[in-house]
Structure formats: C-alpha cells, structure tokens
Amino acid sequence: MGQPIVIGSERSEAGLPAAMEILSRDGSAADAVETALRLCEDNLADHYVGTGGLPNAQGVVELDASIMVGSTRAFGGVGAVRGYPHPISIARAVLEKLPQHAVLVGSGAELFAHELGFEKAELLTDESRALYRDALRESTSSVEGENTRATTGDQKYREAALELVRRLGPHDGPWGTINVLAVDADGELVVGVSTSGYPWKYPGRIGDSAIPGAGNYADLRYGGAACTGRGELSMRAVGAHRIVDRLAAGDDPTAACLAMLRDAAHLPDEFRSELRCLALTPDGRHGAAAGQAGSTYNVMTMSSTQPEAHPRSVL
Ligand code: GLY
C-alpha cells in the first residue's frame, strides 16, 4: 500500500488539486494523472500544451502525450495529433484499448480517437494565432516559456524556426511540456506527459513526450521520471529511462535527475536549450533538476491543500 502523492512540473498547478482529490478518495494513479493533464490541456493561458498550444511552422497545432504504468510498464503514446484537445486521453486509450501497440502518430492517432468518439476542437486560439503571426513579423521570436533565459542555442533554434515559418507558414498571415507523476493508495505509480512541443516546429516533428524512455518512464520496482524542455536531447539521452536506471542503482531522485542532465550536457547540440526532469519513487521520495537556477516543481500529498513549489536542483 502506498501513501498517495502527486508531483508535477511547472504549470501543473492547474491540474494537481484535482489529481490529489482523486487519490485521496482511493482513486487510481492513472485517473489522477489523466485528470490533471486534461485540466492543463484545457488551460487556455498555457501555450505549451493542449488547446492554445503554439502551432507548428504551418500554423497548425500538433500535440504529443503519453502515459506509463509502473507495475506493468505498459505505455500509451500519441504524436503530432491534430484537432483533438485531450491527447493524454487518447494516449491512455492506446495503452488500455490497443495493447498490441504502444504509440500512434498523426492521422492514425486521429482515426483511433475518432473511432472512440473523442471530442474534436479548434486548438489554435486567438492568442496563440496572434503569437504565431507576431513571430512572422519579428526578426527574432520573443516567445519564452519554462526555459525563460534564451541561450545561444535557443536563439539559433528560433532563427531556424523563423526561416521555416517564412517558408511554410500560411500567407494570411513560455515553451514547455507538463509532467505529472502519481502514486495511489494501492501503491501503483503512473507517469503522464503532455505537450504542444516546440513552437513553429517542422510539421510532423515528435518530441520526447510521446516516446517511452525519453520523456516518460515508470517502473514500479524503482520509480518514475519525466522530462521537459529540449526533447531532442532527452530522446538522445533516453532521459527518463536513464533516471530510473540511476534510481535502480541506488541514487536518490535528485541525484538521479542530476546524473541524467550531466550526461545530456555532453551531447553536441547546436540548438541546445534547457532540459529539466523530475522523479518519484514508489515510497514517495521525489526530486527534480534543471540547468537554470530558480526553477521549481509542484508536490501534493494527503496533507496538502494546494500544490507546494519545491526548488529543482541545478546542474
Ligand atoms: N519536451 C517536449 C518536446 O521537446 O516536445
């Protein structure tokens, strides 16, 4: 039996109280994680996930999400989904209703969502459309997300993205993913991730959020982990899996997160920008790390009334 706990990345506050409410009624970690992420996906003020997420280079919103269950290591993921506001629910349906597969992308994921009767919606809001059009006009993008201080890599990425936007964008003319990790009263551990990915990305680009072991990993023997930030780095470092490997080797959650960031820091990447991660063990120990000072993650336990912000350790 576990002590229910839920943790999340920056901007998970929109969903964590509802998740804790579910856990406190002996609800499942999967329900808690899905509910929290659906609320984040519905948060129109958040431009890095769900409805209102920033679009690709052609002005179309494409969403990635995944969910992984610690006891079975079952995984459901979707990538580059258009027109469906709750990719985390489609990801969970892949896990539960399509066990012969683990990840669906693009039109296949949309067909599956249609077959299951998921609701569709326009994902580009007036505000995200305006941000997209501003980016077309400006010589450098002013869009900032969880990784607020632009590095040289950020700048170079944005310049390349703007070139793409100019090439592919329609004529009429803060990024960041959300992670939620929960342990329920039965001791199950579930990790969920949802994102609209890089603003102005190449159409069809899928990040670490949809990939098992990269942006999301859960193994009930040791713990779960998830990443935000530059997904290309986390895919190459197999970030979330590496963190869980470090937990298995005896690291505490913070040390495990720092070890992954240290490894990723050695990868050559001309578009390098911030990579962040967090980890939770089945017995409720948690930790997180980032490359920049001042970043936080959120925690709720049975005694919390609101998400509590904890500092991330800095590499
Ligand atoms: N970490 C989210 C992404 O790279 O899409």
Question: What pLDDT, on a 0 to 100 scale, did the predictor assign at position 99?
Answer: 95
Tell me the C-alpha distance between 192 and 19, whole Å. Answer: 12
Residue nearest ligand 1's atom 5 by CA: 197
**Catalytic (active site) residue 177:** yes
Count the neighbouring beta carbons within 10 Å of the beta carbon of residue 55: 27
Tell me the C-alpha distance between 18 and 64, whole Å. Answer: 22
* Ligand 1 centroid – CA 2 distance (Å): 30
Task: Show the tokens assigned to 264.
Answer: 């990723």
Tell me the C-alpha distance between 17 and 91, whole Å. Answer: 22
Contacts of residue 136, defined as CB under 8 A and 6 or more positions apart, other chains included, come to: 162, 165, 166, 169, 173
Sheet-wide strand order for 275-280: 216-219, 223-229, 275-280, 286-290, 313-314
Question: What pLDDT, on a 0 to 100 scale, did the predictor assign at position 152?
Answer: 81
Q: Domain coordinates of the chain in residue numbers?
A: 5-122+176-314, 126-167
Buried b / exposed e over 268-283, threshold 16 CB at 10 Å, is: ebebbbbbbbbbbbbe
Q: Which helix (H) or strand (E) holds 235?
A: helix 231-237
Question: What pLDDT, on a 0 to 100 scale, did the predictor assign at position 174?
Answer: 46
Q: What is the mean pLDDT of each run of 10 residues along the chain (315 residues)?
A: 90 96 98 98 90 90 97 98 97 98 98 96 86 66 55 79 67 68 98 94 96 98 96 97 98 98 95 93 98 94 96 96
* CATH level 3 topology of 5-122+176-314: Glutamine Phosphoribosylpyrophosphate, subunit 1, domain 1 (3.60.20)
- Give the residue, out of 228, 261, 274, 276, with the most ligand 1 atoms within 8 A of its beta carbon, to mutate for a pocket test: 228
Question: What pLDDT, on a 0 to 100 scale, did the predictor assign at position 150?
Answer: 66
Catalytic residue among 35, 51, 177, 228: 177
Torsion angles phi and psi, residue 233, rounded to 5: -70, -45
* Ligand 1 centroid – CA 231 distance (Å): 4
Question: What pLDDT, on a 0 to 100 scale, did the predictor assign at position 162?
Answer: 75
Ligand 1 neighbour 229 (Cβ under 6 A) = yes
